[in-house]
Amino acid sequence: FIRMMVAVIASMNIMMLSVAKYTGFFTGISDEVKNMIHIGEFLLSTPVLFYSGWVFFKGAYFGLKNRIITMDFLVAFGSTLTYTYSLFILFGAKGESYFDSVAMIITFVLVGKYLEVIGKKSAIDTLDKIKSSLPLEAIVVDENNNKKLVALNSIKIDDVIEIKAGDKIPVDGEIIKGEGFFDESTLTGESIPVYKKIGDIVYSGTINSNSLINFKVTKDFKNSTFSSIVTLLEDSLNSKPKIQTKAAQISKGFSVTILSVALMTFLVWYFFGIDLGFDYTGTTQFERSFIVAVSVIVIACPCALALATPMASLVGISELAKKGLLFKEAKFIESMAVASSVVFDKTGTLTKGELNVVKARIMDDNIHKLNLLYSILCASTHPVSISIKNHLKEKYELTEKKLDNVKNIEAKGMSAAYTNIEGKTFELLGGNLELLKQNDIHYKFDSNKTVYLFAINKKVIATFELEDEIKDNAKDLIEFLQNKNIEVIMLTGDNENVASNIAKQLGIKNYLSYQTPISKAQYVKELKSQNNVVVMVGDGVNDSVALSSADVAIAMGNSADVSLAISDVVLLNSSLKSLKDAFLISMKTYKFIKQNLAISLIYNTVTIPLAMAGLVIPLFAALSMSLSSLIVVLNSLRIKMK
């Protein structure tokens, strides 16, 4: 940051001095004043080249060490050559100095380098945040029932761990004592807690919702589920996108080409004494050849090429921010614009993530029986029970009764008994169809929604259908993407019935249910392997690996901290309308990026041959370079125009 700021401040002051020099070139200027300007530019450009530009010298050195000609080498070589030539002018040689070009070249490219460093730092911070979400210690119980805190990395296979209600599971293991519900949304995306008993496996990163349990460790921390996710995440973050690799190859080719052209130009002028351009009277053959070669390097400076993408992207990003969209790096605009597939998580992304009663049927509205229904719902902490309880509270004034033999029945519902003042006992059942079948209650009920039924003495008196409400503008977004020939896929941890219902409502043809974080990531990687540019939209920790595997990762504003950190784009207002705007503005920005690249290409195609012919002296080369950059900037600003 300090190197960049030194370059920016010095360059601003150099350009102020250059105004006088350029004006004097056309209107006349004394040698004494010109020399003072040269001294001022020399003093300002020297720290820019050797302090701020040190990163380019370093990059050029390591590139040469590995036999690679990089853009760093071109910047360092061109700047040094121009600086050296300007020193000759400063100490009495005939001509114009180009210290301003040295400073501007370093500054433009250094700003891009700084943004790249910020992106890398963000990735490292993300990994730290994910790792810190697990507890550092766990309670280990020995054979004598003694308890002690043990560091996470010291937990061994077959150790017995005690987990209290509300605690997070540190490593994978098998329950040996207790039972209860576990929130596995961080892994599966399933919004409904999973009931587990003795013999069932619990996974690291999940939360024990409501009871004290003991489990035997089956996998140490290094091989646990959550640790595996972190490892996959690290691999994804360290891999470079194809667009970045291609850019590096183009830069390499550009650098080698320009250096070769400049060297060839110098040799041709030096040995053949070509003189097609300006009057070089008073200069030696070497000086004349050197001036032309410098002109080629300066006029072919990659500033316009380097600005083509970031300038348009910068304007595009500012427009996106107005729509509630935060792009962490400019390169993701280009990736979104050429996206061929968009993968959506369901819960919290396309839907609101809240179960609501959409249909209720009360066959017997006797208030006493409704009180029993209310009572069994109050005895459960399951999200389905809570939603139905809240639904009933809005419609009836109900009283909770004391129930006997209340039992949680594995992933199916609850049973209980109630004895009235006359001593008559009622058997109560509340849950899904499987629970009723298990108790010899054959009730035909067909629904593609989450279902809850309540029976008293084997007679069903109420049924409820619950659904996760679809977000506003979701269908409009899906239709927009499909009209742009972009493939839409929905991946969810929910069951087939729920997934197919949501997909049908939104018009999504491709969807997969029962998806885990690993399978989501594998699906995204498989899509990418087929040369697809994949955009992934999600909101939970369970989406983090898939998000990091995609070309562009988009998180909703209400997402978990981890998914926000790992994402490339954040919808600050969680509106799917904003996501549609993101695609529209990205496509528009990409169009202007291509225009800018075309301008840069045409500029180099026209000006480099002119410089090789000696028709452009270094001063005009620098002015031409600045003009090409200005044209790119002005063209980029057109993105704001409606």
Which amino acids are annotated catalytic?
345
Find residue 538's DSSP bridge partners: 555
Please answer whether residues 492 and 512 qualify as being in contact, where contact means their C-beta atoms are separated by less than 8 angstroms.
yes
Question: What contacts 24+ positions apart, CB below 8 Å, involve 594-597?
Answer: 595/635, 596/304, 596/307, 596/308, 596/309, 596/311, 596/312, 596/632, 596/635, 596/636, 597/305, 597/308, 597/309
Ramachandran quadrant class, 423 (left: phi over 0; alpha: psi -120 to 50; beta: rest): left
CA 393 to chain CA centroid, nearest Å: 42
Tokens, residue 577: 């309308």
Query: Any residues with CB less than 8 A from the CB of 7 and at least 6 apart, and which?
Result: 48, 52, 53, 103, 106, 107, 110
Task: Tell me if residue 405 falls in helix, strand or coil.
Answer: strand
Please answer whether residues 274 and 614 qualify as being in contact, where contact means their C-beta atoms are separated by less than 8 angstroms.
yes
CA dist 617 and 293 (Å) reads 10
Instruction: Transcribe 242-307 into DSSP letters.
Output: HHHHHHHHHHHHHHHHHHHHHHHHHHHHHHH----SS--TT--HHHHHHHHHHHHHHHT-THHHHH
CA dist 222 and 377 (Å) reads 40
CA dist 157 and 227 (Å) reads 15
Question: Of 171, 225, 175, 167, nearest to 195 (Cα)?
Answer: 175
Torsion over CA of 241, 246, 251 and 257, rounded to 10 degrees? Answer: 170
CA dist 384 and 451 (Å) reads 9
Q: How far apart are the first and last CA of the chain?
A: 35
* Length of the chain (residues): 642
Residue 65 CA: distances (Å) to CA of 55, 59, 70: 15, 10, 11
Give the strand pairing for 404-409 and 413-419. antiparallel
Tokens, residue 241: 């996108």
Give the strand pairing for 404-409 and 569-571. unpaired
Please answer whether residues 185 and 230 qualify as being in contact, where contact means their C-beta atoms are separated by less than 8 angstroms.
no
R_g over Cα of the chain:
34
Question: Of 157, 495, 475, 172, nearest to 344 (Cα)?
Answer: 475
Q: How many CB atoms lie within 10 A of CB 159?
A: 18
Residue 480 CA: distances (Å) to CA of 342, 474, 577: 12, 10, 11
